[in-house]
Amino acid sequence: MKIAFIGLGNMGAPMAANLAAAGHTVTGFDLSAACPEGVSPAGSATAAAQGAEVVITMLPNGDILRRVAAEVIPAMPEGAVLLDCSTVDVDSARAVAAMAADAGRRAVDAPVSGGVGGAAAGTLTFMAGGPADAFEAVRPLFEVMGQKAVHCGDAGAGQAAKICNNMILGVTMIATCEAFALADKLGLDRARMFDVVSTSSGYSWSMNAYCPAPGVGPNSPADNGYKPGFAAELMLKDLRLSQLAAESADADTPMGLTAMQLYERFVEDEGGRGKDFSAMLPRFEGRERS
C-alpha cells in the first residue's frame, strides 16, 4: 500500500519502519523527529497524505489530532482511510470520524497496547473502532505492526476500550503496590507473597506479568531501577482520559478517580515523572498511614 505516517516519535517511528520493511511505500512527516530507515520524508502532513491509500497518525492528544485531521483529510483520495493509532479522548475520535465521513473518506481509531518494545518488535495489540469495511482495509497493516487487532465497534470504540483497559491497569497496579508495602510492614517475605497471590484470587497482570517488586516474578521495570516500560505520566494521561469519558457518559468511577489523583500527586509532586508506573511501590514503602 501507499501509506502516509504522521507522528514519528518513540512509537510511530518503529511502526513506520516495520511497514516499510514489509514492502509498503511509506512517506512520513513529523515536526521534529527524523524519518526512520525506509521511510521517505515529506515537507508537511498534507504533502504526505496526497495519494495515500492509508494515512496513519500517532499524535500526543485529541486537539492535535483534530488539527492534523482537518489538514490531511482534504488531501486524501476519496475512499482512503485515516487510521489513528494515538490514545486520545473518545469525543475527538468521533469528531475525526465524522469529519472523514463528511469528506467521503473513512476513519478508524485504533489505539495500541504494547509500548515501545511492542512497536519495535511488531507485537502491538490494536483496539479499533470504525466501519467494518475500513477495519478490513487496514487489517494487513495491523498484521505487520502487531500481533492482534480487535474490532470493538463504531467510531470511538477503540479509544473506549483502551481507556477502560488502562483504568483497570492503573487501579490494579496501585492495589498491588499497596499490598506489597503492607506485606513488608507485616513482615511477610515478598517472594512468598508473590507465590501465594500469583496463584490465588489476587492474580492480576500487574502482579503476575509486571510485578512492581524487584527480584520477584518475571523480569520487569522494577528490576531495572524502574526505568519506564510504561511511564507514570502516560498512565496519568490515560487515567485523565478515563475520567473525561466518565464525566461525558455520566458514569460513576470512584476507583478510577482515586487512581488518577494518586498518579497526579506521584507525577507532579513526588518525583514520579520519568519513572515506570510501577514505581508506586517505593512511593508506598516510604509512607506512613495518614
Catalogue the active-site residues. Answer: 162
Query: Residue 139 is inside which H or E element, if any?
Result: helix 132-145
β-strands 124-129, 40-41 pairing:
unpaired
Contacts from 132-138 at CB under 8 Å and sequence distance 24+? 133/106, 134/81, 134/106, 134/107, 134/108, 135/108, 137/54, 137/81, 137/106, 138/54, 138/81, 138/83, 138/108, 138/110
List, in sequence order, every beta strand (DSSP E) within 44-199: 54-57, 81-84, 106-109, 112-113, 124-129, 146-153
- The dihedral sign for the CA sequence 242, 124, 268, 182: positive
What is the rounded (10 degree) CA torsion for 262, 264, 265, 266?
80
Grid coordinates given for 160: 473506549
Contacts of residue 179, Cβ cutoff 8 Å, sequence gap at least 6: 193, 197, 202
Residue type for position 160: A
d(CA 263, CA 165): 16
